[in-house]
Amino acid sequence: MLFDPYLLRGLSLKNRLVMAPMTRNRATVSSSTKPAGARVVGPMAVALPEPVYTDAEGLQPATVPHALANDEVRAVVAEYAYSATKAIEAGFDGIELHSANGYLIEQFLNANHNQRTDSYGGSAEARNRFALEVAAATAAAISAGRVGIRLSPYGSFNDMGAFEGIDEQFVALERALSDLKLAYLHLVDHPLMGSPHAPASLRAPLRAAFTGALIASGGFDRAKAEAILASNSADLVAFGRSALANPDLVARLQHNAPLNVADVATFYTPGEKGYTDYPVLSGLSA
């Protein structure tokens, strides 16, 4: 099934492999992770305890974010929608809302970090509100069929992690996202990044809650990808590290050829090494 074509909301895919989004920190035009005049924002004015990587200065202490007021949250929602329109104008088929890995949307979702007591925090419904408003505004701006969203329940990267009531909250979130008729849900299980596996008991409820296409992500090889597709637990499978290290990944998988191993030491360094220098195998065609 991995090499079967798939129709994703009008977009014809040649196979069921997709490439996972990967942060590489390749920029060399600045000494910071944010441009001049920008500020770090979040649901709470609490800094990430882990240091942040910068291309020019290496690891630096995380900045204490500005806690967004309600009117500022609404302005950020509009910024997401505006950015999506710019992506479409640039020629993108669609966009993915990154709501995992400790990015802003997940900070609002996660009860360990969002301890607000207003309409954007204090309950599961309120914590879900920002994600749903962003998804709805983006879908309204470019059409729901051009919008996907990435979630990682139980992901612990960037000081995230499980919290009381997480299963029920994410099932409710997915149901609401399903009502928006988004193109897909990208569900991430992140053991390779030190996170625990999501409980097996959560898989079926999460699958049932979202009626659109589901992308599974997290340490897949060909056998595991075929298995999850055959079980109807996912419609597409995302590959990250192996896609990075193998520019001819689809052909290698089709022919059961050996894969290049990703050079972890180059994941967050500037320059072409570990980015454009992985070899392809001769004589293969997808």
One-letter amino acid for residue 200 of the chain = A
CA atoms within 13 A on the CB side of 205: 14
Angle, helices 200-209/166-179, rounded to nearest 10 degrees: 20
Cβ atoms 279, 246 nearer than 8 A:
no
| The one-letter amino acid at 257 | A
Angle (CA) 166-65-173 rounded to 5° is 25
Q: Is 82 a catalytic residue?
A: no
- The residue from 6, 53, 103, 268 that is catalytic is 103
Under DSSP, the state recorded for 98 is E
Q: How far apart are CA 169 and CA 182, in angstroms?
A: 19
Q: Distance (Å, rounded) from C-alpha 146 to C-alpha 139?
A: 7
Return the closest-CA partner of residue 62 out of 78, 80, 81, 42: 42
DSSP character at residue 158: G
Distance between CA atoms of 215 and 197, rounded to whole angstroms?
16
**Residues involved in catalysis:** 103
